A = this chain, B = another copy of it.
Amino acid sequence: MLRTHTCGELNLENLNTDVTLCGWVQRSRDLGGMTFIDLRDRYGLTQLVFNMEDNPELCSRARELGREFVIKARGTVVERSNKNPKMPTGDIEIKASELEVLNVSKVPPFIIEDETDGGEDLRAKYRYLDLRRGIVRKNLEIRHKLAAETRRYLDRQDFIEVETPVLIKSTPEGARDFVVPSRMNPGEFYALPQSPQTFKQLLMVSGMDRYFQIVKCFRDEDLRADRQPEFTQIDCEMSFVTRDDILQTFEGLINHLFREIKGRDIGHLPHISYADAMRKYGNDKPDTRFGMTFTELKSTLGETDLTGGKGFKVFDDAGLVAGICVEGAAGYTRKQLDELTEWVKRPQIGATGLVYARYNNDGTVKSSVDKFYDENDLQKWVQAFGAREGDLMLVLAGEPAKTRKALSELRLEMGNRLGLRPKDTFQALWVVDFPLLEWDEETARWHAMHHPFTSPVPGDIHLLESDPGRVRANAYDMVINGNEVGGGSIRIHDKTLQQKMFNVLGFSPEDAQSQFGFLMDAFEFGAPPHGGIAFGFDRLCAIFSGLDSIRDVIAFPKNNSGRDVMIDSPSRISKEQLDELQINVK
């Protein structure tokens, strides 16, 4: 190695050692007859000191070094007079005796420190410089550790990692495929996998018993914020298991990751049914770092109604009246409440208005609907909400699904405003018992909420043909801090049930065969009961790094138009290439 040590490891134990370090010039300061240079590498920063009196030639050369020059410096480890307790190497410095410039650098387009002056676009173009910033590099290190610990855990549990193909076959189901024209088979195309779903099921048919893979997947979707055309999954499948075996195995995985990487014990993951999650949080990926669960003043089935018969038409006409109780917020000003009302009325939230009721410290209730509800009525609300003096009740009303969605947004917003969603707190849970099917008004048929191979909950199978909408899927999502980080299901392995399922979905036997033929065929040769899960690895990395965007945990991400602005891709290709592939661009 060109160096004897890295820039992150020297301390008082190394005093008087002759060392050679390599790295980048982070910062340079001249102070009297001395020049101090902070030398940076992946492992840390070490201060080099050059002395004009001792060695004017060397010190002069040091003074000529620019930011980001790559140097090799030799010297002796000495104790620092003004120690820097914030730096792991802050007790020492290197009294330099030799200096070699390994490479020069132009002035970088932005400052390469945690706090930078570079805008997002500039940093994207010079991503290789952005990655030099410790704060960015750290994310890739956490990602590496997450992958390594995932593999370690699954390996111990007898999972084997099997690479499935990237050049596969386009299928009409699911999102849009990226396709790859085949030169050897003109007019034909491969597709890039949206997930290795069928291959992992085939691996179960092949007796692989426990499979996993950390694998790139691809979806050609219009990129909403925080989607990437290529993303990474932790993809897993197991044979001879029930749902609870899978939940237990992957509760173990997530516990292992939090323990090894964050030093946290997140404990047992509670289960919540889809129905409860929607009722209590209005959301199938509830953020359970805080409470503020929904209270229904008027429930959809009418068992509860604390609002009717008082002449308030908005509530009387509503399918659902529900609200949240914001702790200690009774002091919100009229201005703040007006602003909140405007907030819930924004199109992306979609509420028609906001009703509030302050439960004052003196025990009285003051609401925006005092015209319709008297103190007695409102005290019933207080009881329903379980409110305490000083709390603020915020109530929405309308069509149940829309109301829940809006109230969920309001809950999250209030959580943010009250600081109840800290990035270093982690609450994980399982959401279970999803509906198997959803009715599509447009095509007037049932659609599989996950995919047609998802098994119903065993006790609901008898409803499949008589009352499809009530059948629950044997499916589950893992949710952390309001993010769906993983999801999966027990699969159908029985041919008769699979046939029934296709029937319910409106497939003719011919269509089923033409679309899912090779998997259906495989199922005829002894498919074991099996199920699995896939985790969104980028999202998991973002959560562990305390980041909102997955873009920050990807070394070379693409922008919202699917472009890599650093390498300027995609790009035109030559006529020869198109001719060889026998395709034309329109």
Which residues of A does B touch, CB under 8 Å?
A: 1-3, 6, 22-24, 40-43, 68-70, 72, 102-106, 108, 126-132, 137, 140-141, 143-144, 147-148, 151, 155, 160-170, 172, 176-192, 198-199, 202-203, 205-210, 216, 218, 220, 222-223, 229-230, 232, 239-242, 245, 493-494, 518, 522, 524-529, 554-556, 558, 561-564, 566-574, 577, 580-586
Contacts and interface: CB of A to CB of B under 8 A. Distances in A.
29 contacts: A2-B240, A22-B240, A24-B526, A41-B207, A41-B209, A43-B209, A70-B528, A72-B240, A102-B493, A103-B526, A128-B205, A128-B206, A137-B206, A140-B162, A148-B155, A162-B555, A163-B216, A163-B555, A165-B564, A170-B573, A176-B183, A176-B577, A176-B580, A179-B573, A185-B563, A188-B571, A189-B570, A199-B555, A583-B584
Nearest to A109: B525
Given A180-B192, A245-B1, A586-B583, A202 B525 contact: no
Contacts of A179: 180-181, 573, 577, 581
Contact of A190 (B172, B528, B570): B570
B182 A562 contact: yes
Contacts of A103: 493-494, 526-529
Contacts of A192: 166, 180
B582 A22 contact: no
Contacts of A529: 2, 70, 102-103
Interface centre among A70, A184, A207, A229 (most CB of B within 10 A): A207
B527 A70 contact: yes
A320 B232 CA distance: 55
Given A176-B183, A181-B179, A230 B571 contact: no
Nearest to A244: B1
Contacts of A577: 170, 176-177, 179
Contacts of A141: 160
Nearest to A538: B163
A197 to B, nearest CB: 12
Contacts of A187: 572, 585
Contacts of A106: 524-525
Among A2, A70, A566, residue most surrounded by chain B Cβ atoms (within 10 Å):
A70
A484 B162 CA distance: 24
| Number of copies of this kind of chain in the complex | 2
A222 B185 CA distance: 11
Contacts of A241: 1-2
Nearest to A102: B529
Contacts of A218: 166-167
A494 B566 CA distance: 21
B132 A570 contact: no
A500 to B, nearest CB: 16
A164 B218 CA distance: 14
B169 A564 contact: yes
Contacts of A164: 555-556
Nearest to A167: B230
Q: What 8 pairs across the A-B complex have the smallest Cβ distances?
A: A105-B526, A131-B206, A169-B569, A188-B570, A182-B570, A42-B209, A68-B526, A144-B160
A229 to B, nearest CB: 6
Given A205-B128, A220-B183, A571 B163 contact: no
A586 B582 contact: yes
A207 B526 contact: no
B230 A556 contact: no
A172 to B, nearest CB: 7
A118 to B, nearest CB: 13
Contact of A556 (B165, B180, B494, B584): B165
A223 B564 CA distance: 31
B43 A188 contact: no
Nearest to A148: B155
Among A1, A24, A580: residue with most chain B CB under 10 A: A1
Nearest to A168: B569
A170 to B, nearest CB: 5
A105 B524 CA distance: 6
B176 A148 contact: no
Contacts of A554: 163
Given A163-B216, A181-B181, 18 more contacts: A2-B240, A22-B240, A24-B207, A24-B526, A42-B207, A68-B525, A69-B526, A102-B493, A104-B526, A137-B208, A148-B151, A167-B569, A178-B180, A184-B562, A190-B570, A202-B556, A518-B566, A583-B583
A549 B393 CA distance: 70
Contacts of A568: 169, 518
Contact of A571 (B105, B170, B586): B170
Contacts of A188: 570-572
Contacts of A524: 105-106
Contacts of A128: 202-203, 205-206, 522, 525
Contacts of A161: 144, 147-148
A22 B528 CA distance: 9
Contacts of A205: 128
A585 B586 contact: no
A365 B176 CA distance: 75
